[in-house]
Amino acid sequence: MFPQNIVLIGFMGTGKSSIGKRAARILGFRFVDTDHLITERAGMEIPQIFALHGEAHFRDLETETLRSLENTSHQVVATGGGIVLREENRRQLRSLGFTVALTAREDVLFERVSRNTKRPLLQTADPQGTIHNMVQERAALYADTAQFLVDTSDLGQQALAELIAHEALSRFPSLTST
C-alpha cells in the first residue's frame, strides 16, 4: 500500500504548520492541521481545552481526530507535538502516509516558541528546562515513527517545504496521481 498523504510530526516550534502549508501548495494538496480540527470540534482554543478538561481529554480528542483522517489522500497533515505519545496514534500516523519528522536544536525551539503563549505545556517557570525534558522523552518516538527526518534549525521554510515535497515524490511517485 503506497502512502496517500504526507504527515508532519515533531516537537512544538519545529514549523509543522508553516512548512506543511507551503509543501501542500507546492504539491497541489490540501493542508490539514490536527490541532485546528480539534479546536473546531471542541469549539474552543487549545489552552481552554487544557484548562477546562485537562490534557487527557485533549489527547482523546487528538486520537479521535486522527482516526477521522483514515482513508484520506492528497493532503499534507500537520500534527500536534504530543501526537506520538500514544501507540495507537503512531500506528495511525504511519498508515496515513509518508511520515516526516521535523527537528530543531533546543535553543532554536526555545526562541521560536517563546513568542507565544498558546502552548499550555510550556507555561512553566522554566520553559527552557521543560523543552529539554520533553525533547528527551519524545525524540525516540518521533524518530521511530518517521520515515524521513529533517532538521529545520538552519533552513528557510520554503526550502524545507521543497525538500520534503521532493523527497516524497522521489520515494513515492504515485502520490501525485489521483
Binding site for ligand S3P (CB under 6 A): 12, 16, 35, 46, 80-82, 119-121
Q: What is the smallest separation between the CB atom of 136 and ligand S3P, expressed in angstroms?
A: 13
**Residue 112 or 171: which CB sits closer to ligand S3P?**
112
Structural contact between residues 142 and 12, judged by C-beta atoms closer than 8 angstroms? no
For 12-21, b where at least 16 C-beta lie within 10 A, e where not — what string? bbbbbbebbb
Q: What is the smallest separation between the CB atom of 130 and ligand S3P, expressed in angstroms?
A: 11
**Residue 5 or 79: which CB sits closer to ligand S3P?**
79
Report the DSSP pairing between strands 75-78 and 5-10.
parallel
Q: What is the smallest separation between the CB atom of 47 and ligand S3P, expressed in angstroms?
A: 8
**Residue 82 or 97: which CB sits closer to ligand S3P?**
82
Structural contact between residues 32 and 77, judged by C-beta atoms closer than 8 angstroms? yes
Write out the three cell numbers for 40.
473546531
Q: What is the smallest separation between the CB atom of 101 and ligand S3P, expressed in angstroms?
A: 12
Structural contact between residues 92 and 67, judged by C-beta atoms closer than 8 angstroms? yes
